[in-house]
Amino acid sequence: MRSIFLFLLFISSFLTAQVHDDFSDSDFTNNPTWIGDTADFIVINGLLRSNSNTSSYGFYLSTSSTTATDAQWEFYVNLKLQTSSANYTDIYLISDEANLKSTTNSGYFVRIGNTTDEISLYKRTSGINVEIIDGLDAEVNSSNNTIQVKVTRDTANLWTLQSNLKGNGFSYETEGVITDASITTCSYFGVFVQQSTPTFHLNHFYDNFYIGPILIDITPPSIVSSTIISNTQVDVLFDEFIDLTSSEITSNYSADNGLGNPIAVIRDVSNFNLVHLTFSTAFTNGLSNTLTVANVQDLNQNIGITSTTIFSFVIPESSEFKDVVINEIFADPSPQIGLPAAEFLEIYNKSEQAFDLKGWKLTDGPSIATLSSYTLSPGMYLIICPKADTAAYGLFGNVMGVSSFPVLNNAGDHIYLKNNALIIIDSVNYSDTWYRDATKKGGGWSLELINPNIRTNCPMANYWMASTNALGGTPGTINSTYTNVADNEAPQLLSASTISKDTLLLNFNESLDASTLLNTAIYSIDKGIGIPIEVKAIAPDFKNVQLIVGTALQAGIIYTISLTNAITDCAGIPIGPYNTASFVIPESAMPNDIVINEILFDPKTDGIDFVEIYNRSNKIIDLKTITLSQYDTINNTLTSIEKITTESYLIHPGEYILLSENSAIVKNQYHTTNPSGFINMSNLPAMNIASGTVCLANSTDIIDLFQYYENMHFPLLNVTKGVSLERIDFNRPTQDKTNWHSAAEAVGFATPAYQNSQYSKAGETDNAIEIAPDIFSPDEDGMNDIFNVHYHFDTPGLIANITIYDSKGRSVKQLVRNELLGVTGTFSWDGIDENREKAKIGIYVVFVEVFDLTGKTRHYKKTCVLASKI
């Protein structure tokens, strides 16, 4: 806890303090240097915390200190555990040894815990403990104990032990006093932890250690705020406990506008910072009054200087939804960053009327807190907290302590604010995801509303985030995250997609005002469909709208939906000019509708695998229905099955789509002419380098299957790492080995999401055998790297042998051996001979032998030229 009071004391006394450590440097090894069981402690968020998970274990830290008499010790402790005789902490004010586990050391220490859950002072002589101040029992018997402790020892050796169980250090209660002069020298100050089981580890927090001269309070009390209670009553809150006698003298208070002195002044029975004033004359509606306060003393008889505070009484108006909003939520006060270690909610009056909060309810369902009479003026903030924490939060602004304050769940809760007619004025269903910060989500920081003036039908999650204030929150004042920057960007319709034959989904680029989405007349679909019969805005972010149409949509037909500018975003900006989108009901994929067109199974060292697919059909197909997998050729089953996408994604006829786990890496390493044709899969099935299978399938069919081998690459390449394998013609069989070739060097060895560098479409011919091109140059430049043998026969079932001969009649390549032919087809040669070497430049004869099962044989001879760059 970094209370403002302690901070000022530390600054003013730093030069004379012998030890001062608030761990703001996130270190306990320097300035000052702590020694001992250093592995069992850590500094987290500016707090020293235990870090040992060993059971039945005592561990310590100590630092040099010679302060022993005419001194003050002050420190903050937060024990997130129920103390016992086996679970406690000792703060050694004085020790003659650095080792606080020693059985022979002498000194004084404060023990927090023990059997009676108390804060007590002990004297230790040669290892023997004697309790010399017995603190009040049951003070630390909860599971979250925040304590500020102050011990003084004057020149007469009078010890005074004081504590503040709110952990804020503003006002102390005395645990006891005693005179003891047994030990008058000191060598060390330190912290000792005793825990019995590992369940208590990580639950001891320490901060703000001060050891030095006694700090004398010479600061007079001052006014923090004034609050209207009724038309004759006003409360005044001071910044510290005030003296009972002086605070209840009516002549010490005077108001202008003819009000004069109050007729009664009563200091609050439980909050000594607060006084209740009653006047005989009623306050005038809407008139500002100045209250002058003088001669009120604090508990140390410091007399307050004459000061003023302004208050106004306003006749409250009836409230409507969102006139008052929940503006800040402090659900998880631990670990303590700077605010009091207690939950609070802040409300804000965003209207132009004042409201009397008497009878209003704050509830999470199980707990209902009823608010007392309080005039909440326009633009006013009010902190609402448990009654016991009123004084702590009174230092930050207007505060109301209530009984039955709802327990704010750390992970999330639904909080309602209702007026005295039980009408909901505001509600917030918060979640710890709203922090937008993993560290702050862990506690100590409030959730702040970025702008309380947002439109009422917009998603709340977009408008909350963790506080950025150094204290961890901004109770009672404008939020640290507040922004009134206008949203001048018009919302856009991104896409439309079908869910079924009568239902489609619209997707927008930002959250919309849900109330502007529900009119069916603002939507219109062409081709006779017209306006929808039902509209539903999809919570929680309202970026999506579901439409139901009255006429069934037809598969394969492209429709267009148009929207009017009646739709607005949360800033009230109407939809922009891009308010149309096309959609279609996709058709089912049949085998070979989509084919595997390019694969990279041996990527660069810093690269990744990919698979490119191509829609060779005339259908529009939704890839949400397609999986990518491996194929077990022994058991004929799919393995490593992965969905291409969980969202609807349409692939149109003639469209290429590149599948990978990170499209940015692929785009960085290879050129593409189609940067939008990429899909990031959460998992791409693994592809082995030597050989493997890639399979496209849906729920009923294998759509395409490719079994690849490393030696399918062009053999003259020195390195194939980072080189993709491209399909030559997507109309030829996938498993035709001559239908695959290494990507050309000229395009960077891959063509992701666009036409392959080695693409060559099989020719349509009436001639039985044709070759194309006549001249080819297999040099990996992407131009005529292969030549094709196209065939066309009238009858199926023929068998072919194709042999390549050089100009001297020597066999160079057995291109096809006893291959069963279709009616039409193509075989390709990349200029590599049987020795997997590049054939020489020159003229080659392509000899084709075709025969049927009757033994009838036909022969064809064609010539081609293998060329090369000179």
Q: pLDDT for 132-181, tens place per residue? A: 999 999 999 887 888 999 999 999 999 999 998 876 655 788 899 999 99
- The mean per-residue pLDDT over the stretch 734-749 comes to 85
Q: Residue 747 in contact with residue 755, Cβ under 8 Å?
A: no
Q: What is the per-residue pLDDT across 439-473, written as a single tens digit (0 to 9) for each?
A: 999 999 999 998 887 765 666 777 899 999 989 99
Distance spanning both ends of the chain, measured CA to CA: 81
- The 8 Å CB, 24+ separation contacts for 241-245 are 241/171, 241/272, 241/273, 241/298, 241/299, 242/267, 242/272, 242/273, 242/275, 242/296, 242/297, 242/298, 242/299, 243/296, 243/297, 243/298, 243/299, 243/301, 244/272
pLDDT at 764 over 60: no
- The mean per-residue pLDDT over the stretch 576-588 comes to 85
| Buried-state track 174-187, b at ≥16 Cβ within 10 A, e below 16 | ebbeeeeeebeebb
Does residue 609 or residue 717 have the better pLDDT? 609
For residues 213 and 841, give the distance between their C-alpha atoms in angstroms, rounded to a whole number.
99
pLDDT at 616: 95
Q: Residue 428 in contact with residue 434, Cβ under 8 Å?
A: no
pLDDT at 796: 62
Residue 10: which pLDDT band, with cuts at 50, 70 and 90? Answer: very low
Helix (H, G, I), strand (E, B) or coil at 515: helix
pLDDT at 516: 86
**Helices and strands in the chain, H and E counts:** 5, 61
Strand pairing category for 71-79 and 57-64: unpaired
pLDDT at 13: 38
pLDDT at 870: 64
Residue 487: which pLDDT band, with cuts at 50, 70 and 90? Answer: low
Q: What is the per-residue pLDDT across 418-440, written as a single tens digit (0 to 9) for each?
A: 998 888 898 899 999 999 999 99
Q: What is the per-residue pLDDT across 71-128, written as a single tens digit (0 to 9) for each?
A: 999 999 999 888 999 999 999 999 999 999 999 999 999 999 999 999 999 999 999 9
pLDDT at 692: 95
pLDDT at 197 over 80: no
Q: Within 13 Å, how many C-alpha atoms sit on residue 318's CB side?
A: 3
Neighbours of 636 (CB within 10 A): 8
pLDDT at 762: 65
Q: What is the per-residue pLDDT across 214-271, written as a single tens digit (0 to 9) for each?
A: 888 888 999 988 988 889 999 999 888 899 999 999 999 999 999 999 999 999 987 8
Neighbours of 741 (CB within 10 A): 24
pLDDT at 1 over 60: no
| pLDDT-wise least confident of 7-16, 708-717, 746-755 | 7-16
Q: Which of 288, 317, 293 is nearest to 304 (CA)?
A: 293
pLDDT at 8: 38
| pLDDT-wise least confident of 402-406, 801-805, 821-825 | 821-825
pLDDT at 373: 86
Q: Residue 659 in contact with residue 627, Cβ under 8 Å?
A: no
Mean pLDDT of the chain, nearest integer = 89
Task: Find all residues with CB under 8 Å of 605, minimum gap 6, and list them.
Answer: 721
For residues 615 and 665, give the distance between their C-alpha atoms in angstroms, rounded to a whole number.
24
Q: What is the per-residue pLDDT across 690-699, written as a single tens digit (0 to 9) for each?
A: 999 999 999 8
CA angle at residue 857 from 856 to 862, to 5 degrees?
Answer: 160
pLDDT at 843 over 70: yes
DSSP assignment string, 240-268: S-B-HHHHT-GGGEEETTTTBS-SEEEE-
| Buried-state track 209-235, b at ≥16 Cβ within 10 A, e below 16 | bbbbeebeeeebbebbbbbbbbbbbbb
For residues 670 and 676, give the distance between their C-alpha atoms in angstroms, rounded to a whole number.
14
| Buried-state track 250-267, b at ≥16 Cβ within 10 A, e below 16 | eebbbbeeebeebeebeb
pLDDT at 36 over 90: yes
Left, alpha or beta for 626 (phi > 0: left; psi -120 to 50: alpha)? Answer: beta
Strand pairing category for 857-866 and 775-776: parallel
Entry field: residues in the chain: 870
Which stretches of 654-701 are assigned E, i.e. beta strand?
656-660, 678-680, 691-697
Reported as type and span, the H/E element at residue 369 is strand 368-370
pTM of the model: 0.43
Answer positive or negative: Cα dihedral of 43, 47, 51, 57: positive
Q: Residue 859 in contact with residue 840, Cβ under 8 Å?
A: no
For residues 157 and 152, give the distance between their C-alpha atoms in angstroms, rounded to a whole number.
9
Q: What is the per-residue pLDDT across 319-357, written as a single tens digit (0 to 9) for each?
A: 888 899 999 999 999 998 889 999 999 999 998 888 889
For residues 273 and 42, give the distance between their C-alpha atoms in angstroms, rounded to a whole number.
36
Helix (H, G, I), strand (E, B) or coil at 67: coil
- The mean per-residue pLDDT over the stretch 775-790 comes to 86
Q: What is the per-residue pLDDT across 261-316, written as a single tens digit (0 to 9) for each?
A: 999 999 998 788 899 999 999 999 878 899 999 999 998 889 999 999 998 887 76
- The mean per-residue pLDDT over the stretch 27-32 comes to 90
For residues 738 and 784, give the distance between their C-alpha atoms in angstroms, rounded to a whole number.
15
pLDDT at 780 over 50: yes
| pLDDT-wise least confident of 518-532, 572-586, 593-607 | 572-586
Q: Which of 761, 712, 489 is nearest to 614 (CA)?
A: 761
For residues 672 and 88, give the distance between their C-alpha atoms in angstroms, rounded to a whole number.
66
Which stretches of 203-305 are assigned E, i.e. beta strand?
204-212, 223-228, 233-238, 253-255, 264-267, 274-278, 288-293
Q: If you ran DSSP here, which 8-state letter would residue 134 be given?
A: -
For residues 426 and 39, give the distance between their C-alpha atoms in angstroms, rounded to a whole number.
48
Residue 208: which pLDDT band, with cuts at 50, 70 and 90? Answer: very high
| Residue 393, token pair as written in the block | 């939060």
- The mean per-residue pLDDT over the stretch 398-410 comes to 93
pLDDT at 4: 35
Task: Find all residues with CB under 8 Å of 65, minimum gap 6, and list them.
Answer: 18, 19, 94, 186, 187, 188, 189, 211
Reported as type and span, the H/E element at residue 414 is strand 412-418
Q: Could you tell me what percent of the chain has a pLDDT over 90?
A: 57
Q: Within 13 Å, how many C-alpha atoms sit on residue 221's CB side?
A: 30
Reported as type and span, the H/E element at residue 12 is helix 4-13
pLDDT at 11 over 50: no
For residues 603 and 689, give the distance between their C-alpha atoms in angstroms, rounded to a whole number.
9
pLDDT at 793 over 90: no
pLDDT at 798 over 90: no
| Residue 77, token pair as written in the block | 């402790």
DSSP assignment string, 319-368: P-TTSEEEEEEE----S-SSS-SS-EEEEEE-SSS-EE-TT-EEE-SS-E
| Buried-state track 771-810, b at ≥16 Cβ within 10 A, e below 16 | bbeeebbbbbebebbbbbbbbbbeeeebbbbbbbbbeeee
Residue 663: which pLDDT band, with cuts at 50, 70 and 90? Answer: very high
Residue 49: which pLDDT band, with cuts at 50, 70 and 90? Answer: very high
